[in-house]
Structure 1
Amino acid sequence: MNISALEPINIWKHFEAINAIPRASTKEEQIINYIISFGKSLNLETSVDSIGNVIIKKPGTSGKENGGAIVLQGHLDMVHQKTVTSNFNFETQGIAMYIDDDWVKAKETTLGADNGIGVAAIMAVLSSNDIEHPPIEALFTIDEEMGMTGAMALTKEQLKGKILLNLDSEEDDEITIGCAGGVDVEINGTYHLETLDSDFQFYDISVTGLAGGHSGVDIHLNHANAISVFSKYILEIKKDIDLKISTISAGTLTNVIPRDLTCTIAINKAEVTKFEIQSEAVLSSIKNKYQTTDKNLDITFKPIEGAFPVVENNFLSQLLKSIHTMPNGVFSMTAGMDDLVQTSNSIAKIKVQDGGFSIACHTRSSVDAERDVVVQKIRESFPIGETKEIGPYPGWEPNPNSNLLRMATKCYQDINGVAPAIKSIHAGLECGIISEIYPSMEMISFGPNILGAHSPEERLQISSTQKFWKFLTALLKAL
């Protein structure tokens, strides 16, 4: 069966169409133009602001023409991630989707259900002739995944609606009413290079097979982080072996737990056999630690010809110590809510090459003061570089007593026979930013079941998408 033949057809055909368009964060030109053309093809009022956010307005249906406008909101960009062996080109190729039982998946890449299915649902409402709804203001933002710059650029004049439905959540039995804020933290610096004599053998090291995932909603799962695994591996081997490092590279996005890493090292030839034996022993210990969360984790090495400049030894020792001591993973849990992370940090990217290094991580928290504590700990861990914060964004304060939430909860229960869970999440949603611009706007977030977001394991449940669509259309009718 083709993706576009799935029910409800109107959602899936739009999802298939936008997934044919490359739409990485900060590179959304093609999808912006597509959404503009889509709105104009329906003869609906369509506008785009200076940063690239698109707003499409649709009048209310018969009997609802004079109601207050409802803002339907989703983001156009997606996380571009692929397996280490994939030759997929995100710049030119559309996502290769396939059906596996009750799931839609992608071949060796992220699927783009985050937030493509939310965008597709909004498009389905806009193009429908048989769905009851008040006036609609469809807001398609850009660059949610990298910096939320689209939401940050909104002005209070652009939207008139007093209710916002964000369609960027990933569990169909929940209604989200709050989220964490966050900030990217970057460390940059320089180091001296050394040239080795012919007594050293060079190796390429690869860390592969990790599960990865979203650095917010998956952080409590304790998935292995390729950068952290690598530092443990090297530190253990360096205890007894004269090991040098030439280059390190891992990670592409700060909102993704890094799944793989490459490195070039050098070992004194007199210790090659010892290194190979010890490497296997250290790997066995690491595999054992992550056997339930990252069963495919592997560290491989192969000898290579040639000689390359290496990191000066004192700097290397401090770099490895800094990586090992900086916060990584869950920092604290929310008091009284055992299943909600309050504060975390994820080491996301590293580049060590040609006398310069950069490391980036993402710090999240629902408590600004504690977020600042973690950032300070990162600074203290890295005396060898300059640390700076980039693109801080606010959390979304929960409002458990809103009229919108009461109405949505009743609607969900009427359809499904059970009440939804009401939750805050440890991830960034644009609602936090939008609520600062429109403080009187009531908002909730919901969506279908999406697993493995921000990784090539991302998958979207078909039956859950049908459930999500039924709830969305019923809620629009009730509002």
Structure 2
Amino acid sequence: MSNTEIRNQEPKTLWNHFADINAIPRASKKEERIIEFMSNFGKNLGLETIVDPVGNVIIRKPATKGMENRKTVVLQSHLDMVHQKNTETDFDFNTQGIEMFVENGWVKAKGTTLGADNGLGVAAIMSVLASDTVEHPNIEALFTIDEETGMTGAQGLQPGYLNGEILLNLDTEEDDEIDIGCAGGVDVTATGIYSHTELNSSFEGFEIRISGLQGGHSGMDIDKGLGNANKLMNGFLKKVADLIEINSIHGGGLRNAIPRESEAIILCVKENVKAFQSAFSNYETEIKSEYAEKEPELAFSLNAIESPLRAMDKGSKLKLITSIDEAINGVYKMSDEIPGLVEASNNIAKVLVDQGDIQILCLTRSSVEKTKEEVADQLRTSFEKAGFGVKLSGSYPGWSPNRDSPILKVLTDLYEQLFKSKPEVVACHAGLECGILGTHYPDMDMISFGPTIKGAHSPDERANIASSQRFWNFLQEILKNIPVRN
């Protein structure tokens, strides 16, 4: 199904705006084209449009007739999307628009991330701004940049740009949930160097590949027990550490995506090759059995290659393997206050070993600042013990739940009226921008909701069409029922 047919899905206004922005490459930190597009969008509607010093776009629309005395609402979503693709997919994110299709009631992308996170939120706001029929109070549309790799847009937004009393963040991914809190996060990066050992013809070379994992959002999916390619690769290298030397490792990618693939080039003395191959076969059987239900597409491959002439020195090899083995990955602690909520976690997102350099990239999340620091400190200790330099960066706060929020009552009441069921009022383990925006605008009443999206941050990302219709109807009803200004 072509993108033209995507535009015929209901609600058409939502899917047409989504198709428009999905035609524009918009990776985090490379948002120049989407910023220009959104700025022109606002100006072409004759609306006041501002691009702030960091690149956030703010578009103001006056209230519709009879709604002038209602509280001003900030509609907020982020412009950037995670760029991930399957290894076999031939696609250039820098030049191509996302190729979409419909399957069994879901919009999907062909071998890449879809960009529904947070493109559907952006498209919904665009639909409100462009509409002549949607009733609403004064609107301030806030389109932030770089949410996925540091939230620098939200962090860079200065006080004084917004006048709204209520903020609706459209970045939640289950349509039966209303979000009132989220985790904060910090990037933990370990770096080091190693010496090379020169090798001779007594070694054989092999390429090891782990692939087919689901991956996913390192916050929302961290408690699902999915495989982490970096941990699985390291688990095998630990088992055969006495049999092999390491030439290179390339595993994972973005910090906020659970790594789906890892590749290692290793060398093995010829007399140990059979023992090494047997260990590989046994490990493959063991791990596939362990993940049979949750990772049915998990694949291992072992291929003989021309043997490289050098490898990582033995001391660095053992320190690398030990440090990754000891490093926290996955859920660290569940919340004592909110049943079912992950309080703290870590994602070992990327492992790069090549040409004498080592990089290990992690994203630590927690809804409790003290626990976030605890996990980050444990990672620092583990990596520093192995001789790595460790940098903590990009720290951002969580969003503390407020069950007495006035806008929460508006949303829960409307949800029950519209859908004849009660929504789940939750906090999530993802990072939403509400925590940061709340530091700039502490008196703003904030809430988050959105359509159902599955597999965010992976090429399996998909958006439910029926849910998107419900989401659009819900948003329109909310805007009609914004309280009168005090």
Give yes or no for TM over 0.5. Answer: yes
Tell me the CA shift for residue 242 of structure 1: 2.0
Indicate the larger mover: 270-279 or 104-113.
270-279
Q: Measure, in 1, the Cα distance between the counterparts of 2:339 and 2:60.
A: 41
In structure 1, the residue matched to 2:248 is: 247
- 1:269-284 to 2 correspondences below 5 Å: 269-284=270-285
Q: CA offsets, 1:271-323, max 9 Å, x none?
A: 11222122111110011111111111122111111423211112101110110
Q: Measure, in 2, the Cα distance between the counterparts of 1:86 and 1:437.
A: 41
| 1:289 counterpart = 2:267 | no
In structure 1, the residue matched to 2:358 is: 357
Q: Measure, in 2, the Cα distance between the counterparts of 1:182 and 1:162.
A: 26
Alignment-mate amino acid for residue 388 of structure 2: G
Match of 1:145 among 138, 141, 148: 148
Match of 1:176 among 175, 179, 182: 179
| 1:452 counterpart = 2:455 | yes
Q: Measure, in 1, the Cα distance between the counterparts of 2:209 and 2:15.
A: 38
Q: Measure, in 1, the Cα distance between the counterparts of 2:282 and 2:24.
A: 46
In structure 2, the residue matched to 1:51 is: 54
Q: Measure, in 1, the Cα distance between the counterparts of 2:39 and 2:308.
A: 54
Alignment-mate amino acid for residue 65 of structure 1: E
SS in 2 for 1:231: helix
Tell me the CA shift for residue 367 of structure 1: 1.1
In structure 1, the residue matched to 2:260 is: 259
SS in 2 for 1:218: coil
Q: Measure, in 1, the Cα distance between the counterparts of 2:41 and 2:194.
A: 52
In structure 2, the residue matched to 1:438 is: 441
Superposed CA RMSD: 0.9
Alignment-mate amino acid for residue 360 of structure 1: L
Q: Measure, in 2, the Cα distance between the counterparts of 1:211 and 1:338.
A: 26
- 1:108-257 to 2 correspondences below 5 Å: 108-238=111-241, 241-257=242-258
Tell me the CA shift for residue 237 of structure 1: 2.3
| 1:461 counterpart = 2:464 | yes
Q: Measure, in 1, the Cα distance between the counterparts of 2:35 and 2:87.
A: 29
Q: Measure, in 2, the Cα distance between the counterparts of 1:74 and 1:124.
A: 13
Alignment-mate amino acid for residue 50 of structure 1: P
Tell me the CA shift for residue 401 of structure 1: 0.5
Alignment-mate amino acid for residue 294 of structure 1: E
Query: Is the contact between residue 187 and residue 387 of structure 1 (CA under 8 Å) also seen in structure 2?
Result: yes
SS in 1 for 2:340: strand
In structure 2, the residue matched to 1:28 is: 31
SS in 1 for 2:25: coil
In structure 2, the residue matched to 1:422 is: 425
Q: Percent identity?
A: 48
Q: Measure, in 2, the Cα distance between the counterparts of 1:385 and 1:168.
A: 36
Query: Is the contact between residue 203 and residue 307 of structure 2 (CA under 8 Å) also seen in structure 1?
Result: no
Q: Measure, in 1, the Cα distance between the counterparts of 2:203 and 2:372.
A: 44
CA separation of 1:26/1:50 partners in 2, compared to 1, >3 Å: closer, same or farther?
same
Q: CA offsets, 1:373-419, max 9 Å, x none?
A: 11111122112201110100000011100111111111111111112
Tell me the CA shift for residue 337 of structure 1: 3.1
SS in 1 for 2:339: strand
- 1:66-81 to 2 correspondences below 5 Å: 66-81=69-84
Q: Measure, in 2, the Cα distance between the counterparts of 1:237 and 1:440.
A: 57
Tell me the CA shift for residue 67 of structure 1: 2.6
Alignment-mate amino acid for residue 392 of structure 1: S
Q: Measure, in 2, the Cα distance between the counterparts of 1:139 and 1:431.
A: 12
Tell me the CA shift for residue 28 of structure 1: 0.4
Q: Measure, in 2, the Cα distance between the counterparts of 1:472 and 1:380.
A: 46
| 1:325 counterpart = 2:348 | no
In structure 2, the residue matched to 1:14 is: 17
Q: Measure, in 1, the Cα distance between the counterparts of 2:399 and 2:229.
A: 30
SS in 2 for 1:338: coil
Q: Measure, in 2, the Cα distance between the counterparts of 1:119 and 1:156.
A: 22
Q: Measure, in 2, the Cα distance between the counterparts of 1:53 and 1:62.
A: 28
Q: Measure, in 2, the Cα distance between the counterparts of 1:478 and 1:66.
A: 12
Tell me the CA shift for residue 336 of structure 1: 4.4
Q: Measure, in 2, the Cα distance between the counterparts of 1:415 and 1:386.
A: 54
Alignment-mate amino acid for residue 421 of structure 2: V
In structure 2, the residue matched to 1:369 is: 370
TM-score by length of 2: 0.97
Indicate the larger mover: 153-162 or 293-302.
293-302
Q: Measure, in 2, the Cα distance between the counterparts of 1:338 and 1:316.
A: 41
In structure 2, the residue matched to 1:107 is: 110
Q: Measure, in 2, the Cα distance between the counterparts of 1:399 and 1:332.
A: 22
SS in 1 for 2:223: helix
Query: Is the contact between residue 237 and residue 282 of structure 1 (CA under 8 Å) also seen in structure 2?
Result: no
Q: CA offsets, 1:197-233, max 9 Å, x none?
A: 1100011111111111000010000100000000111
Indicate the larger mover: 91-100 or 293-302.
293-302
| 1:300 counterpart = 2:292 | no
Alignment-mate amino acid for residue 331 of structure 2: V
Tell me the CA shift for residue 65 of structure 1: 2.2
Alignment-mate amino acid for residue 27 of structure 1: K
Indicate the larger mover: 298-307 or 339-348.
298-307
Q: Measure, in 2, the Cα distance between the counterparts of 1:36 and 1:65.
A: 25
Indicate the larger mover: 269-278 or 459-468.
269-278
Q: Paired residues, what number? A: 477
Alignment-mate amino acid for residue 86 of structure 1: T
SS in 1 for 2:240: helix
In structure 1, the residue matched to 2:348 is: 347
| 1:40 counterpart = 2:47 | no
Tell me the CA shift for residue 262 of structure 1: 1.1
Q: Measure, in 1, the Cα distance between the counterparts of 2:25 and 2:49.
A: 22
Match of 2:416 among 384, 403, 413: 413
Q: Which runs of 4+ in 1 moved over 2 A?
A: 65-68
